Amino acid sequence: MNRREFLELIRNTALFSLISPLFLRRQAEASRSEAAEADIPARFLRQIVTHDPARSRTIMWESDTELTNCRVEYRMRGTARVPLTVDVSYTYFEEDGDALFLYTAHLAGLTPGTAYEYRLHWQNLRGPWHTLLTPTENAPFSALLLTDTQCGTSYDLFRQSWGAAWNAAPAAEWFAVLGDLTDNGQSSWHWREFQRALGNLPDGVMMTPVMGNHECYSLEWQFCDPRRYLTLYSLPSNGTSSHTGLYYSFDYGPVHFIVLNTQEEELGAFYPDLTEKQLAWLRRDVIQSKKPWRIVLMHKDVLAYDEIQPKTQTSGDFSDTGNTFCPVFDELGIDLVLTGHMHTYRRRHLFRQKSSDHGPVYVMSGPAGNETFIVPDDPRDLKACSQPTPPNFLILQADAENLTLTCQTADRDVLDTVSLRK
């Protein structure tokens, strides 16, 4: 099935909408029948990105039951000091037969370049110590980026891709998933299996989620408000309460990262001013940054390939996302744009402004799951991968003067390497 056929299937859901809720709920019931998980008071512990990870961090986890007297204790690692204590807030979330308590603690006032340890404290119990590492200002770092981790009936292939990625980049300090974390944004089974595939995250590693279009699909495969995604991840503020979690930015080492939302079509009924507000925020945000590098993380790609675009009703040129953002990227001096969505690897060097003779390098990667498509070449591709593309991931290495991006398959074959220099 190619990309166009898939989207036509999604949009023509008269028959599928009758069977998909039953199918997904049966999967969720099978997952919930595993009794071992019900006895764990706190699961899927994760560190979530903040606007300034050198000085703060968000800790989150889930439970099937309300945990009383819950808090987080933390201190510098290797000391016997009495730990500091942070209160924990929780949100009750219910969807697709799932009833969850989501717990969040915000750690602030941390020192850059420092190793901390933290643990959960609930009732009269204390969990094991976990590592939290803050980066040094403008110091070199490496990160791991995956996209389209969504899977069909099993997340085993993503679990293998995930393990291969960390074997290839064991020094990565954080990772990002550039959208389509799961195949269905309202399915309890899909979210649970995605998180099970992640397993216990490498200690000290920070997670950077990016919303994709599949986070905005209901059980009936209609567009929906991505409530579960927005509840599972407490993300940095973008200055507006109406768009919290949809887009944000953060600094890490010498790089300013901008996480954008490309779901204008899917979210139009829920956030009609998304594009207008996001572009205004983008300009303010980038101008304020003093970091040497500017990198955008977003889901949908800037070229359409064979995907019919809702606004232009054409394919084979710039996508609706590209028409919206590319001229602004040229204007703001963005260095690198990383995308997914098409489930293949492509590298391009594009610019849209007539007054500009240069523009960002655009790299599209993925998939990291088991959903594959046949994507045609585009004359603007500087590097294209064979079809269907094998599971792959990106390793980013950056210092103040050099940036290297390597795409590897789960079998450790190098598909491409990009080197940029200031």
What is the C-alpha R_g of the chain?
21
Q: What's the pLDDT at 69?
A: 85
Tell me if 399 is assigned to some domain: yes
Domain endpoint, select from 100, 118, 133: 133
Please indicate, yes or no, whether residues 178 and 112 belong to a single structural domain of this protein.
no
CATH number at residue 311: 3.60.21.10
Please indicate, yes or no, whether residues 120 and 225 belong to a single structural domain of this protein.
no
Report helix, strand or coil for 98.
strand
Contact of 172 with 203, CB cutoff 8 Å: no
Please indicate, yes or no, whether residues 202 and 277 belong to a single structural domain of this protein.
yes
Q: What's the pLDDT at 32?
A: 33
Please indicate, yes or no, whether residues 99 and 56 belong to a single structural domain of this protein.
yes
Beta bridge partners of 200: none
Please indicate, yes or no, whether residues 393 and 294 belong to a single structural domain of this protein.
yes
E strand or H helix at 3:
helix 3-11
Q: What's the pLDDT at 259?
A: 98
Tell me if 395 is assigned to some domain: yes
Q: Give whole-number Cα distances, 419 to 264, 295, 396, 403, in Å.
A: 32, 14, 10, 6
How many domains does the chain fold into? 2
Q: What's the pLDDT at 340?
A: 98
Tell me if 24 is assigned to some domain: no
CATH number at residue 54: 2.60.40.380
DSSP letter, residue 403: E
Helix H segments across 144-199? 156-168, 188-198
Tallying the residues shown for the chain, one arrives at: 422
Please indicate, yes or no, whether residues 244 and 150 belong to a single structural domain of this protein.
yes
List the chain residues with pLDDT less than 50.
Answer: 1-40, 355
How far is Cα 210 from Cα 376, in angstroms, rounded to an integer? 25
Tell me if 34 is assigned to some domain: no
Evaluated on CA atoms 407, 411, 412, 415, the torsion sign reads negative
pLDDT tens digits, residue range 135-187?
A: 999 999 999 999 999 999 999 999 999 999 999 999 999 999 999 999 999 99
How far is Cα 54 from Cα 135, in angstroms, rounded to an integer? 5
Q: The pTM is what?
A: 0.91
Q: What's the pLDDT at 353?
A: 57
**Residues whose CB falls within 8 Å of the CB of residue 338, separated by 6 or more in sequence, listed in order:** 145, 178, 295, 296, 297, 298, 363, 364, 365, 394, 405
Domain endpoint, select from 104, 133, 162: 133
Beta bridge partners of 407: 394, 416
Please indicate, yes or no, whether residues 276 and 379 belong to a single structural domain of this protein.
yes
pLDDT tens digits, residue range 48-80?
A: 999 999 999 999 999 988 988 899 999 999 898
Q: What's the pLDDT at 122?
A: 86
Tell me if 310 is assigned to some domain: yes
Domain endpoint, select from 71, 106, 133: 133
Please indicate, yes or no, whether residues 201 and 92 belong to a single structural domain of this protein.
no
Please indicate, yes or no, whether residues 142 and 255 belong to a single structural domain of this protein.
yes
Tell me if 313 is assigned to some domain: yes
Please indicate, yes or no, whether residues 144 and 111 belong to a single structural domain of this protein.
no
Please indicate, yes or no, whether residues 111 and 154 belong to a single structural domain of this protein.
no
Tell me if 22 is assigned to some domain: no
Please indicate, yes or no, whether residues 316 and 398 belong to a single structural domain of this protein.
yes
Q: What's the pLDDT at 324?
A: 97
Q: What's the pLDDT at 1?
A: 45
Domain extent for 93: 40-133
Residue closest to 70 by CA, chosen among 37, 99, 34, 45: 45
Tell me if 35 is assigned to some domain: no
Evaluated on CA atoms 389, 162, 267, 51, the torsion sign reads negative
